[in-house]
């Protein structure tokens, strides 16, 4: 397997400089101890974009050191902002703002388009690489662009780039055909400096959008309704700087919860945003996972693991929040692959999110997919195999499976996992997993 033998802790946190990295796991070790949950990737990235709305310094605390954050730093600096990191804090000062967005990080990370709203609102124009399809489906950005057009912007798509221009955006009523998280946030941020009132109908209700509202309002914006389906933004002339602590990552919490349920042991996760994990926790109860909430910000999961416990099958539908999170669908499917009976999993958010299933099959899973649906026939045990992660959460599914599988697994494409999970091997090894980062 070509193990390098180098302890995970001595490797760069994001896999930088190690293009062909893999994660080696020997399954069957219970996980015991406490995992510290990092700041939410999907909030941090948007707050970083929001910092472009002001020329004053913004300090974000609890920002995870992951590849996506590093790519967003590249985008912000490419636009002329100064970004410095000290521990878990990012200091962002966007005194002057350019209009050309660097291509590479936007090509690699779709969330790069989240700078569009803030830059147009403050600078009046932006030119940004048009994100293409991704491994989860086509993922267009038509809602983002329709909303900006409704606010009076000129939008041109040319030579693979999008150019958006508006002297000053005007508030208006916007209806989203689907409660898109990214469109809601982009338009909400664009509206902060627009003239008049913007109302976003059928807005996404994800908790990270509330995090953005709190930060924006702290900087002087007038946003209300985040967390509901209707968001109202009263435009203001300018924003001040601010300091804000990013909420804990609910997707990371759910991933470790599922890892604990799969591998067994006794695992505590903290600080856990328990209040926004209802859909996941109620599925855990339904299938027979032992969990509790010893205090407001801790989750505990324990038991003999998927093989011994024999969890019950379930019907899981990934939906916009507060429905079951699509980002937890892949690791949940991995757990159900070891349940006693047949589960149905469907994803109503992303059209092609079952790509990882082929890899789970190599580990012995019995899963059949058709479009947005998977039929998961539980098997008694999975077996370790050489598999490849093709995206972040598909990779998380392989980790959950490998931790419970019999024998060794080698998960290639580890870089996808480093996009969203900081020091993954180190943290899992810290609670007893037999895991290492290796070169292939
Ligand atoms: C965000 C999350 C991602 C999560 C997703 C859904 C970040 C950085 N990423 O992605 O982890 O899986 O929410 O919870 O926060 N759509 C359109 N047109 C648009 C915009 C979206 O058709 O203009 C479609 C997409 O193709 C997708 C669905 O709407 O099928 C949901 O996408 P959206 O909510 O926008 O996801 P993102 O914001 O990209």
Give domain 22-37+248-437's CATH number out of 1.20.58.1000, 3.30.930.10, 3.65.10.10, 3.30.70.2860: 3.65.10.10
Specify the residue with its C-alpha closest to ligand 1, atom 3: 327
Percent of the chain with pLDDT over 70: 95
Residue 42 CA: which ligand 1 atom is closest?
Answer: 15
Specify the residue with its C-alpha closest to ligand 1, atom 17: 140
In this model, does residue 247 exceed pLDDT 60?
Answer: yes
Pocket test for ligand 1, best of 116, 150, 181, 188 (most atoms within 8 A of CB): 181
Return the C-alpha torsion angle 419, 420, 421, 425, nearest 10: -30
User: What pLDDT, on a 0 to 100 scale, did the predictor assign at position 137?
Assistant: 75
pLDDT digits (tens, 9 = 90+) for 204-232: 999 999 999 999 999 999 999 999 999 99
User: What pLDDT, on a 0 to 100 scale, did the predictor assign at position 19?
Assistant: 55
Specify the residue with its C-alpha closest to ligand 1, atom 38: 182
In this model, does residue 1 exceed pLDDT 50?
Answer: no
Specify the residue with its C-alpha closest to ligand 1, atom 34: 180
Range of weakest confidence among 11-25, 91-105, 151-165, 189-203: 11-25
Domain with CATH 3.65.10.10 in the chain: 22-37+248-437, 41-245
The DSSP output letter for 128 is E
For residues 325 and 103, give the distance between their C-alpha atoms in angstroms, rounded to a whole number. 29
Hey, is 434 helix, strand or coil?
A: strand
CATH architecture group of domain 41-245: Alpha-beta prism (3.65)
Specify the pairing of strand 222-224 against strand 173-175.
unpaired
E strands in 222-372: 222-224, 230-234, 242-245, 265-270, 290-295, 298-303, 315-318, 342-347, 366-370
Matching residue, tokens 């019907």: 315
Where residue 389 falls among pLDDT bands split at 50, 70, 90?
A: very high
- Give the Cα-Cα-Cα angle 77, 83, 84 (nearest 5 degrees): 145
pLDDT digits (tens, 9 = 90+) for 395-435: 999 999 999 999 999 999 999 999 999 999 999 999 999 99
Q: Is 110 close to ligand 1, i.e. is its CB under 6 Å away? A: yes
User: What pLDDT, on a 0 to 100 scale, did the predictor assign at position 93?
Assistant: 98
Specify the pairing of strand 373-377 against strand 366-370.
antiparallel
Ligand 1 centroid distance, CA of 46 (Å)? 13
For residues 279 and 326, give the distance between their C-alpha atoms in angstroms, rounded to a whole number. 11
φ and ψ of 388, to 5 deg: -135, 135
**Cβ of 252: how many Cβ atoms within 10 Å?**
27
In this model, does residue 317 exceed pLDDT 90?
Answer: yes
pLDDT digits (tens, 9 = 90+) for 147-181: 999 999 999 999 999 999 999 999 999 999 999 99
Across the strands, what pairs with 300?
268, 292
Residue 393 CA: which ligand 1 atom is closest?
Answer: 11
In this model, does residue 10 exceed pLDDT 50?
Answer: no
Where residue 139 falls among pLDDT bands split at 50, 70, 90?
A: confident
User: What pLDDT, on a 0 to 100 scale, did the predictor assign at position 133?
Assistant: 62
Phi-psi region at 269: left, alpha or beta (left = phi > 0; alpha = psi -120 to 50):
beta
Q: Is 116 close to ligand 1, i.e. is its CB under 6 Å away? A: no
User: What pLDDT, on a 0 to 100 scale, did the predictor assign at position 138?
Assistant: 76
**CA–CA distances in Å: residue 222 to residues 75, 225, 370:** 26, 10, 45
User: What pLDDT, on a 0 to 100 scale, did the predictor assign at position 135?
Assistant: 78
E strands in 203-297: 222-224, 230-234, 242-245, 265-270, 290-295
For residues 414 and 418, give the distance between their C-alpha atoms in angstroms, rounded to a whole number. 7
Phi-psi region at 227: left, alpha or beta (left = phi > 0; alpha = psi -120 to 50):
left
Where residue 275 falls among pLDDT bands split at 50, 70, 90?
A: very high
Give catalytic residues, as residue numbers: 134
**Cβ of 217: how many Cβ atoms within 10 Å?**
16
> Considering the chain, what is the average pLDDT of its residues?
94
């Amino acid at each position: 397997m070509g193990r390098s033998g180098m302890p995970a802790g001595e490797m760069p946190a994001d896999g930088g400089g190690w293009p062909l990295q893999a994660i080696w796991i020997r399954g069957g070790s219970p996980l015991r101890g406490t995992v510290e949950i990092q700041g939410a990737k999907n909030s941090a990235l948007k707050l970083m974009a929001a910092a472009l709305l002001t020329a004053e310094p913004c300090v974000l605390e609890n920002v995870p050191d992951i590849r996506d954050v590093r790519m967003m730093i590249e985008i912000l600096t490419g636009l002329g902002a100064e970004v410095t990191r000290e521990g878990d804090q990012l200091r962002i000062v966007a005194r002057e703002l350019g209009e050309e967005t660097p291509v590479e990080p936007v090509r690699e990370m779709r969330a790069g388009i989240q700078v569009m709203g803030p830059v147009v609102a403050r600078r009046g124009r932006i030119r940004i690489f048009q994100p293409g399809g991704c491994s989860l489906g086509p993922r267009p950005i038509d809602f983002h662009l329709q909303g900006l057009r409704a606010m009076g912007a000129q939008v041109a798509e040319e030579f693979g780039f999008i150019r958006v221009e508006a002297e000053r955006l005007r508030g208006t009523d916007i209806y989203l055909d689907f409660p898109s998280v990214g469109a809601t946030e982009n338009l909400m941020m664009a509206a902060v400096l627009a003239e008049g009132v913007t109302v976003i109908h059928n807005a996404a209700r994800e908790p990270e959008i509330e995090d953005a509202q709190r930060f924006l309002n702290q900087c002087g914006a007038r946003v209300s309704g985040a967390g509901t389906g209707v968001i109202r933004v009263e435009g203001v002339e300018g924003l001040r700087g601010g300091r804000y602590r990013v909420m804990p990552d609910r997707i990371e919490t759910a991933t470790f919860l599922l890892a604990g349920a799969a591998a067994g042991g006794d695992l505590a996760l903290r600080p856990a945003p328990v209040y926004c994990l209802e859909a996941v926790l109620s599925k855990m109860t339904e299938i027979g996972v032992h969990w509790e909430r010893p205090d407001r910000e801790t989750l505990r999961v324990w038991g003999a693991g998927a093989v011994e416990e024999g969890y019950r099958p379930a019907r899981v539908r990934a939906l916009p929040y507060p429905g079951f999170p699509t980002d937890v669908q892949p690791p949940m499917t991995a757990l159900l692959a070891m349940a006693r009976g047949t589960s149905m999993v469907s994803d109503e958010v992303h059209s092609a999110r079952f790509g990882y299933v082929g890899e789970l099959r190599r580990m012995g899973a019995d899963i059949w997919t058709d479009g947005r649906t998977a039929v998961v026939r539980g098997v008694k045990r999975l077996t370790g195999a050489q598999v490849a992660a093709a995206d972040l959460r598909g990779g998380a599914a392989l980790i959950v499976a490998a931790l419970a599988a019999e024998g060794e697994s080698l998960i290639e494409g580890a870089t996808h996992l480093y996009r969203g999970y900081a020091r993954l091997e180190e943290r899992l090894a810290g609670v007893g997993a037999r895991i290492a980062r290796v070169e292939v």
